[in-house]
Amino acid sequence: METIPQEGRGGGFLTRDTLRVGDNLILRVNSSPYQGYYKTQITAVDNQTLTVTMPCDKGKLILLSSNTSLEVFGCNDKLNFRSQVLTRGFKPHPYLVLLLPLAAQQKPAGTRVIAVTSGKGGVGKTTIAINLAIALSRQGLRVFLLDADLGTANIDVLLNLRPKYNLSHVIKRQKELLDIIIEGPERLRIIPGSSGLNELANLKEEDLNWLIYNLASLEQYADIIIIDTGSGVNKNVINFALAANDTVVVSTPEPHALTDAYALIKILDELHHRTFPYLVLNRINTFREYSRISRKLSTVINQYLNLKIVNLGYIFEDHVIPKANKKLEPFLLAYPYAPASRCIDILAHNLLNSHKTVHKLPSSRYNFFMRLKELFLTNPTEHKSAVR
């Protein structure tokens, strides 16, 4: 066991370039049955993880288990960060895989922001957003799920998570955004919303600026940001949909749900939405039903609106979904071979491989966070003709 005299030394600015294969590190562990400082060496660095040799003490391997929290020190006083063990292995040599902090993860070439929304509540929007985010994360993408259903934020509840902080703490300047992010299943990262934060449109400009500044920091770390918006056509919902790269509109086959979905798409059309929205139909009994309903809705939209829709797919009515929700588990993980789970995988595949026409703003202005700020600072009367 290594002794380190510089107790509590400060950490410097950490990037992936700071971590090199062959460098020696020291792990500080404080969990049963191991406590103390242990020498190790970097064997690999990738986008999200750091692989190191499994440390030894007095000739015996230090068998740290998954989820063990630890602190990492470099050979100089500038390298110091907190991490956790993701997994361990023994071939070809004993090793540990550690999670890199966000600041050290590789910046993606571009971040795709997807708003998942609906014309009315109760159509399964949040459940689809959660499972779709997990399916995308399984593809090796860095996916963040933002709970922007600010009236009834409940992603954390459905995932059986207990976040200590949420977006309200960011707005009040008590925390920065990276401080409130929690890890969900399959390395999905969750940004908890706040059920008491109903109207971003009512925020003071300086508070909105602070929130947008924090949200924009996600671009350094995320491949995809999925936003679970509220339902309906209030300004919060509309602005997230207008600012996103892609909008997924969820509906069920019931006439009133389809009517509300059409109303939402009509508002996006009136406000010159830049991309064709995707349509997902939930609680479908047969493929024939999906074909009939999606074709009928497409015909109406094509006849009366300039904005067209892209039929992304459907989710079968499946008894495993309420069972998984009752257990507070994503149905994709609890029942991976169920019909609904196969539908989610298909949706994720379609979303990643879509090649629809995208109408963008000029590149110098096309940024989700800048666009979102502009929309929320717009005089509400400018939306009066569209937003009910």
By the 8 A CB rule, do 54 and 95 touch? yes
Give residue 313's pLDDT.
Answer: 96
The predicted-structure confidence for 85-121, as pLDDT tens digits, reads as follows 888 889 889 999 988 775 565 555 578 999 999 999 9
Q: In this structure, how many other beta carbons lie within 10 angstroms of the beta carbon of residue 110?
A: 9
Task: Quote the strand ranges of the chain, DSSP E.
Answer: 24-31, 34-45, 49-53, 56-57, 60-61, 69-73, 80-89, 95-99, 112-118, 143-148, 182-183, 189-191, 224-231, 246-251, 278-284, 310-316
Rounded to whole angstroms, the Cα distance separating 4 from 58 reads 17
Give residue 102's pLDDT.
Answer: 58
Contacts by 353-361, CB closer than 8 A, 24 or more apart: 354/278, 354/310, 354/312, 356/275, 356/276, 356/310, 357/276, 358/245, 358/274, 358/275, 359/274, 359/275, 360/274, 361/274
Percentage, residues of the chain above pLDDT 90: 51
Q: Which residues pair with 36 in a beta bridge?
A: 29
**Is the pLDDT score of 366 beyond 60?**
no
Per-residue pLDDT band for 129 (boundaries 50, 70, 90) equals very high
Average of per-residue pLDDT values in the chain: 84
SS (H, E, C) 75-120: CCCCCEEEEEEEEEECCCCCEEEEECCHHHCCCCCCCEEEEEEECC
Please give the residue that has the higher pLDDT: either 83 or 120.
120
Give residue 76's pLDDT.
Answer: 63
The predicted-structure confidence for 5-36, as pLDDT tens digits, reads as follows 343 334 444 555 678 899 999 999 988 788 89
pTM value is 0.70
By the 8 A CB rule, do 143 and 188 touch? yes
By the 8 A CB rule, do 73 and 26 touch? yes
**Is the pLDDT score of 387 beyond 50?**
no
Q: Which of 297, 328, 323 is nearest to 310 (CA)?
A: 297
Rounded to whole angstroms, the Cα distance separating 8 from 149 reads 40
Give residue 15's pLDDT.
Answer: 56
CA–chain centroid gap for 27, Å, is: 30
Rounded to 5, what percent of the chain is helix, strand, coil? 35, 25, 40
Q: Hey, what domains does the chain have and what are their CATH numbers? A: 16-104 (2.30.110.10), 112-383 (3.40.50.300)
The predicted-structure confidence for 198-223, as pLDDT tens digits, reads as follows 556 567 777 777 888 888 888 888 99
Mean pLDDT to the nearest integer, 323-333: 96
Rounded to whole angstroms, the Cα distance separating 386 from 270 reads 7
